[in-house]
Structure 1
Amino acid sequence: MLLAASQASAAGPGKLADPRPGDGRAERTVGEWLARMHDASRQRNYIGTFVVSSSNGSMSSARIWHACDGVRQVERIEALSGERRSTFRRDEEVLTFFPETKTVRSERREALGLFPELLKPDETAIPEFYKAKRVGSDRVAGFDADIVQVLPKDALRFGYRIWSEKKSGLVVKLQTVDEAGRVLEQAAFSELQLDAPVRMDKLAQMMAVPDGWRVEKSDAVKTTAAAEGWGLKTPVAGFKPTSCYKRTAEGIVQWIFSDGLASVSLFVEEYDRQRHLQEGSFASGATHTVTRRVQDWWVTAVGEVPPQTLRAFSLSLERRK
């Protein structure tokens, strides 16, 4: 799964081909490509092994069972590396089981981690900030795929190289690339059964908490940045606020933004000189982090975007009450 950097920085294994999508019609627009991929992730059942690797050498894998009916979705993710855990997602409800401690973490997530996690058509600026073209074909996990290059039109976001299964559009491999074409992170199915007989009711039954297990519920409550006294002096081009939460026990506010593909989270908490020692910028694969003190507050900006994007957010953030 893990490609050498020299190989991954090219278009990837596969053959360059006729730039048409393969169905005899003209090249799709970036919106059409991404809508097709998004719909496939919501409408197809599958079972597969998913491997994620980063440029820093880290790698993780998971077994996924995904069932959907076009409206509702249920998913089981069994971690094959790291701490033993099983995660179940039913629409916005997420339960993570930790067998070592017999603990279940319960939370709600508006975003299910699908790629692309598209905003509503009238809310997205994807065509304004990205362009796409088909650059070839390949086989991934036994399936024929179109290789689609999604390139940003500015320096505030990364590009993507996407392997989209020809018949359904399902994303079977994804690379996040920087402005020089270097692969920062790769996620791909090493094995996939498309349209597998996965039943939503069977997966839902597995979400029952066993007797004797402890349930830990997230204390995050939905709020707005304005209600918490925060705003942006100037918006960051293409990014729109999607949600905001407050973790009451820790006093941390999380403000989430998206441009339709990339997302950014701003975490704001009271400044503590014991814990918040140094402002800085950090990277792990495609994920970057920028920390900064704003008056009596500590801001942590995180996202799969270039560090200059996170700095723009942190510099624009202001206290309004």
Structure 2
Amino acid sequence: MLLRVCCGVLAILFGQSYAQVPSIPVDLITQHVAQPHIAQWLLRLHQSSQQQSYVGTFEVTAGQAKSAARIWHVCEGTQQIERVDALSGIPRTTFRRNDQVMTYFPEDRVVVAEKRASLGIFTNLINRADVSIARFYQLQASEGELVAGLRADVVELLPRDHWRFSYRVWTEQISGLVLKLQTLDSEKRVLEQAAFSDLQLAQPLSWGKLNAMMGNTAGFVVKQTELISTTADKEGWRLKTMVPGFKTMSCVKRQDHVKGIKASPLQWVLSDGLASVSLFIEPYDAARHAQQSHDQMAFGATHMQSRRLGHWWLTVVGEVPQHTLQMLAQSLERKK
């Protein structure tokens, strides 16, 4: 669980890079910012993640646990490629070229190949500013600070209700690149922190060299994991009540050739544009699930709940409070 969560947090920021993106005027970053302005600020963060190269060390802290990775990121036009070397945990190197991901495990001589949607700083911020985000969060500016030796602006994204966490975000003043991100609970306590400890911007890295490394599978066994797109409705599921602001982002079934599993959990992903929640639905297996009934866990900002639904087993995971997960878990039902 620890490894999966840390890798997931690292993946949120893997798409970042350096870009000369016009600054948003300071007077737009106020506690009661108008709807388009918070969306513009978030869009600037997303745009800054896709236009130039960098190399840096990225660290995640969740409670007493820490993880780190060395990241090389290269942009060439609209194309992106990166290499991520784990500096803690299981030895592994992950390459991502757009939505193609290959993870090398040198000790086992195995490489896992899969497709993943390109991730920006926030899940729902793809190519446009989502003005609905301002209905559920407000921006509040703080004094600037240095992060990894770079001048950064600091803002807080404060929730307007109790269904979501707060965020404190440090962005490089010129580019808008996210240098540091904290997730805060309702008491402003830091649940999780992700930050660059060192960062070199606009580095002359080689696309061709990284691309060649990514494709060099000699001596490794390549195992494929396929994601099949579907919908919750098509699979026979619905939510009686949706958490305000959350929308369906994707729904997939995983064809896992690594373990030879023919059927695997359905993953239904919801997001409010900042936070995300995944509902994993699979057939109930007494041998595996009997000891997990109504289980709850928390690791940093990531919370989890599980419960039985007749012949099915539900696991809900997300960067939201436990009561938000509980609402979704209780609202899920099988269509008649």
- With structure 1 as the length reference, what TM-score do the two structures score? 0.88
Q: Shift of the alpha carbon at 1:221? A: 1.5
Structure 2 CA distance for aligned equivalents of residues 146 and 279 of structure 1: 42
Contact map agreement 2:147 2:196 (CA 8 A) in 1: yes
| Match of residue 285, structure 1, among 277, 300, 303 | 300
| Match of residue 303, structure 1, among 301, 318, 323 | 318
The 3-state SS of whatever aligns with 2:195 is strand
Contact map agreement 2:40 2:129 (CA 8 A) in 1: no
One-letter code aligned to 1:27: L
Q: Which residue of 1 aligns with 2:223?
A: 216
- CA 1:25/1:303 → structure 2, altered by over 3 Å: closer, same or farther? closer
Q: Which residue of 2 aligns with 1:12?
A: none
* Superimposed CA distance per residue, residues 58-79 of structure 1 (whole angstroms, 9 cap, x where no aligned partner): 0000000111245221111110
One-letter code aligned to 1:282: M
* Superimposed CA distance per residue, residues 203-238 of structure 1 (whole angstroms, 9 cap, x where no aligned partner): 111111332311111143221112211111122211
Q: Which residue of 2 aligns with 1:8?
A: none
For structure 1, list consecutive stretches of 5 or more residues without a partner in the other structure: 1-20
Q: Which residue of 1 aligns with 2:122?
A: 116
My pick for the range that moved more, 100-109 or 211-220, is 211-220
Q: Which residue of 1 aligns with 2:207?
A: 200
1:51-62 maps to which residues of 2 (within 5 A)? 51-55=59-63, 57-62=64-69
Asked if 1:269 corresponds to 2:282, the answer is yes
Say which structure is richer in helix.
2
Q: Which residue of 2 aligns with 1:27?
A: 28
One-letter code aligned to 2:122: P
Q: Which residue of 2 aligns with 1:229?
A: 236
User: Number of residues paired by the alignment?
Assistant: 299
Q: Which residue of 1 aligns with 2:104?
A: 97
One-letter code aligned to 1:230: W
| Match of residue 181, structure 1, among 177, 185, 188 | 188
Structure 1 CA distance for aligned equivalents of residues 139 and 76 of structure 2: 29
Q: Which residue of 2 aligns with 1:128?
A: 135
Q: Shift of the alpha carbon at 1:247? A: 2.5
Q: Shift of the alpha carbon at 1:44? A: 2.6
Contact map agreement 1:256 1:263 (CA 8 A) in 2: yes
Give the aligned CA root-mean-square deviation in angstroms: 1.8
Asked if 1:320 corresponds to 2:332, the answer is no
Q: Shift of the alpha carbon at 1:251? A: 3.1
Contact map agreement 2:43 2:129 (CA 8 A) in 1: no
Structure 2 CA distance for aligned equivalents of residues 178 and 70 of structure 1: 39
For structure 2, list consecutive stretches of 5 or more residues without a partner in the other structure: 1-21, 30-36, 256-261
Q: Which residue of 1 aligns with 2:48?
A: 40
Q: Shift of the alpha carbon at 1:124? A: 6.0
Structure 2 CA distance for aligned equivalents of residues 201 and 288 of structure 1: 40
- CA 1:111/1:230 → structure 2, altered by over 3 Å: closer, same or farther? farther
